[in-house]
Amino acid sequence: TKHLLGIKYLTPEDIQLIFTTADDFKEVINRPVKKVPSLRDITVANLFFENSTRTRISFELAEKRLSADVVNFSASSSSVKKGETLLDTVNNILSMKVDMVVMRHPAPGAHHFLSQHIDANIINAGDGTHEHPTQALLDAFSMREKLGDLAGKKIAIFGDILHSRVALSNIFCLQKLGAEVMVCGPPTLIPKHIQSLGVIVEHNVREALKWCDVANILRIQLERQDLKYFPSLREYSQYFGINRKLLDELDKQIVIMHPGPINRGVEITSDVADSEHSIILQQVENGVAVRMAVLYLLAAGR
Ligand code: CP
C-alpha cells in the first residue's frame, strides 16, 4: 500500500503487521536512546488544515524518532489564508523534495483527491467526519495490550457517532479484528445507516455499559453541527455522560478510553477519566509507536 487513506482499505493482516511493528517500536521508545535511523533521508511534511494537539505532536515525535527530516505546516498561519488552493499548497511544498505527507483536513475525501494528483505517500491524520485511521489503530493497539486478542471482545463507542471520524475508523478496525461493536448515544447523533455496517445500536447508557468490555467515549463535536438540533450540554451529560455512579452499578470492571480532547463533565466525569480503569494516557503513549509503525511500513514500500 502506498498511502494510509482509511482503515476501510486495510486487511486484518495489514493491521496485525502494523501492531507487531508497533510492538517493536514501543520497546525502542522506552529505551534511554529513543531514536532509530530507519527514515534517514526521508522528508515528511505534516500539513494541518484543522486544529490538533495529540495527532500533530505524536506524528512529529514518531517522525523524529525514526530520524526523518520534518516540516510542519499549519493552515491558520499560511498562504491558504490568501486564497491558495489545497493542490497548489501541497504541490509547492512537494517541490521542495518532500517524500511523505501527513495531513489533517476538514473535507471528507481530501486525501483521496490528493492521492490522484501527487506522488508522495499520504497518511490521513483525520478528514472531516470521515476517517482518522491512526487513531483507530492506536485505540485497537491499546485494547489489545489490555485484553489480548480482540476477537469476540465487546466494544461500545459512546457519544457523537454522527460527526465522528474516530467512530467510523474504530468500527472498521475493530470489526476487521473480529470484535463486536456497539454504538450508544442520542438518536439525533447516531446516523440511520450505521446498522448497515453491522454494529449494534443502543440508546440506553446503562444497558451499553452492562454489555461492553471496553467503553470508548467520544467528545461532542460542537464545531461540526447545527446547535439548534442539539440537546444542552447539561442534558447530554445527564442522560449520556459516563460517571462513577454508573460504573459502580456494574458487577464487572470495564476499560475506559477516550481519544481526546476531553470535555470534562460533559461526556465523561473527571473521576472516570482519571480512574484506575482509564487508559486514556496509554492511548496517547501508544500513538507514537503506532505512527512510527505506519511511517516505517509505508517508507519501506517506497
Ligand atoms: N485524538 C485526536 O485526534 O486529538 P487531536 O485533535 O488533539 O489531534
- Assign 107 a pLDDT band (cuts: 50, 70, 90): very high
| Ligand 1: centre distance to CA 109 (Å) | 18
Helix (H, G, I), strand (E, B) or coil at 265: coil
Beta strands 154-158 and 255-257 are: unpaired
264 marked ligand binding residue: no
- What number of CA atoms fall less than 13 Å from residue 247's CA on the CB side? 20
Whether pLDDT at 228 is above 70: no
pLDDT digits (tens, 9 = 90+) for 170-182: 999 999 999 999 9
Q: Which atom of ligand 1 lies nearest, measured to the CA of 53?
A: 7
pLDDT digits (tens, 9 = 90+) for 36-57: 999 999 999 999 999 999 999 9
Q: Are 52 and 261 in contact (CB under 8 A)?
A: no
Whether pLDDT at 185 is above 80: yes
pLDDT digits (tens, 9 = 90+) for 60-103: 999 999 999 999 999 999 999 999 999 999 999 999 999 999 99
Q: What is the ipTM of this complex?
A: 0.98
Pocket of ligand 1 (CB under 6 A): 52-55, 126, 135, 259-261
Helices 12-29/280-300 angle, 10° precision: 110
**Helices assigned H by DSSP within 39-190:** 54-65, 86-94, 110-115, 133-147, 165-176
Q: Which domains does the chain have, with CATH numbers?
A: 7-131+287-300 (3.40.50.1370), 133-283 (3.40.50.1370)
Q: What pTM was computed for the model?
A: 0.96
124 phi/psi in degrees, rounded to 5: -80, 115
| Ligand 1: centre distance to CA 55 (Å) | 5
Alpha carbon of residue 51 to chain centroid: 14
